[in-house]
Copies of this chain bind each other. A is one copy, B any other.
């Protein structure tokens, strides 16, 4: 037990917030957990499950006396929530978030926070394709990265506490600047998600293959796309709308590359294809060497081992 904050308030009680609550309680990182969710149903579930010590009826009420406030709402709702809680924040408290894009969140939240409140954005690279207050579990952040993405130099003490908070929840904490964060995540997460969504959409449209066939034979590769494409629609809509330039750029690059391979296939240029596929295979090897995945073939899904699930907050 090493209490870091007396009271922590979570705004939004989905997969990430509920996982943070389970993880931080297990490590005894806060004395009291307050929570708020916009949906009355979610609040009722949180009360039934004793997810929080105190479930508030408004965000303003939830943040009262909180030493740490974590915004766990979709990126597009951050600004509105910040405006609502701003006047009610405890002087000197820390406000953080778990949003998947950072520049847009900083611009949306900062203006609403009073002097003396420390805003230190963060982004845990962890998640599953499930959502809601009952989808969380204490192990979600173990051996996963949590990026702390401040706009300029954060208050050293406030930063140290937040870093400690995430470290005790099992995460590897790293610092990154907002612009670079948004680009790195676009490449490693946002673009793959958009492309998976598109692939699933195309198959769904393709009429000469029945849906049942697509589903039945999905294990042949397509299934992994559907898992990625099962992520929370609201969250992803907001990610793409709030990281527009990077999305536009990488989509342009992607379409360009795809047309290059398409041309090679049409022309029967086997050498280009072989070289291309050989290069991508080498990247896979480096990922295994970097310890971000195992060389074990991907058989089935084992529940509860070190979280490597993409989607949701993996964004």
The answer to whether B125 and A217 have CB atoms under 8 Å apart is yes
Say yes or no for A255: interface residue by CB 8 A criterion.
Answer: yes
A29 CB, min distance to chain B CBs, angstroms: 23
CA distance A214 to B290 in the complex (A): 11
Say yes or no for A197: interface residue by CB 8 A criterion.
Answer: yes
Select the stretch in A60-68, A148-156, A297-305 that faces chain B: A297-305
Copies, count: 2
The answer to whether B274 and A226 have CB atoms under 8 Å apart is no
Chain B residues lying within 8 Å of A144, measured Cβ to Cβ, are 219
- Residues of A that sit less than 8 Å from B by CB: 76, 125, 128-130, 144-145, 183-185, 187-189, 191-206, 208-209, 211-231, 233-234, 236-238, 240-241, 244, 247-248, 250-251, 253-255, 257-259, 261-262, 265-266, 268, 270, 273-274, 276-281, 283-287, 290, 292-311, 314-315
A312 CB, min distance to chain B CBs, angstroms: 9
Q: A187-B214, A188-B214, A299-B306 are in contact. List 19 more A-B contacts (CB 8 A).
A: A129-B284, A130-B297, A185-B220, A187-B202, A187-B222, A188-B220, A194-B258, A195-B199, A197-B280, A204-B279, A206-B253, A215-B292, A219-B310, A221-B315, A230-B284, A234-B274, A237-B270, A238-B270, A241-B268
Smallest Cβ-Cβ distance to A227: which chain B residue: B298
The answer to whether B224 and A310 have CB atoms under 8 Å apart is yes
CA distance A294 to B223 in the complex (A): 11
